[in-house]
Amino acid sequence: MFKFGETHDDYEVAVFNEREVRAAAGIVFLFAIVAFMNGWLTGNNEPTKIMVSAFLVDFFIRIIINPKYSPSMIIGRWVVNNQTPEYVGAPQKRWAWTFGFILALIMFYLIVLNDIRGPANIITCALCLGLLFFESVFGICVGCKVYNLFHKEKAKHCPGESCDLTKERTDIQKVNYIQIGVLIIFLVGVIWGPGVGSKMKSHLFPQQTNNDCTVPQFAIDMGHEEKWKLHNGCK
C-alpha cells in the first residue's frame, strides 16, 4: 500500500509508466486551466477552490501514500492502458511532485482558507499550470531537471533518455534552416498579417458605423451587459 513507484526486473530503481504520468498531468492541467480562467474572467473563485482542494488531495496521495492510488493517475492509467509502457525513474518524480505538493499547499492557504485575490495566487497558479503543461505536452519534467542539482546520484531513466546529454541526435530530431525560415515567416504572418488584412478590408469593403450601443434585453437577462459591449466594440 505505502510505496513510491513500481518494481521492475529490468530496472535497478523504482519506475513509473511515463505515458500514465503524462496523461495524469494532462488531466489535472485541463481542469486547472478551466478553473483558473473561470476565476480570471468571471471573478468567481469557487471552481478554483474546488480544483485547488482536489489538487492538494491528489498530490498528498502521490507523495504520502502511493501514486497508483492518486485519482488522476488512476484515470491516466485507464486511458493509456492499451499503449506500450515507457518506464522512467521514480526518485526524480518524488522530488518534482513534492514541489507540486508545496505549491498546492500554498494555493490552498491563499485561495481556500483566506480567499486572497491578487498577484500571489495568480503567480502560484500560473507556475503550477506551466509545470503541468510542460510535462503533459512535451514530456519535460522541470522538477526532475532540478533534481540533478541537489543529488550526487543523477536521475536515471528519464523520458526519451533525456538524462543522457552525450548521445547524438538523429536527423529526425534536428531542425534545419529551411524549417526555421518557415517558422519565422509563419510567426511574422500571424503577428503582422491580421492588422494588414483588416486595413485592406476596411478600404475595399467600407462598412457603415453603427453607433447604437443599446444593450439588448437578452444580454441584460444573462448578466452579460459588459461582455456584449466588449464584443460589439462599445466602450
The predicted structure's pLDDT at residue 31: 94
Cell of residue 71, nine digits: 485519482
Domain borders along the chain are 15-167, 170-204, 210-235
Contact 114, 124 (CB under 8 A): no
d(CA 190, CA 156): 41
The predicted structure's pLDDT at residue 196: 58
The predicted structure's pLDDT at residue 167: 66
The predicted structure's pLDDT at residue 6: 83
Residue 48 vs residues 23, 92, 112, 177, 214: alpha-carbon distances, Å: 21, 28, 8, 44, 34
The predicted structure's pLDDT at residue 200: 56
Please write the tens of the pLDDT for every residue from 185-194: 998 888 877 6
Local structure of 95: helix, strand or coil: helix
Residues of the chain with pLDDT under 70: 155, 160-167, 194-212, 233, 235
The predicted structure's pLDDT at residue 208: 46
The predicted structure's pLDDT at residue 139: 83
Please write the tens of the pLDDT for every residue from 91-146: 888 888 898 899 999 999 988 898 877 788 888 888 889 989 988 888 887 777 77
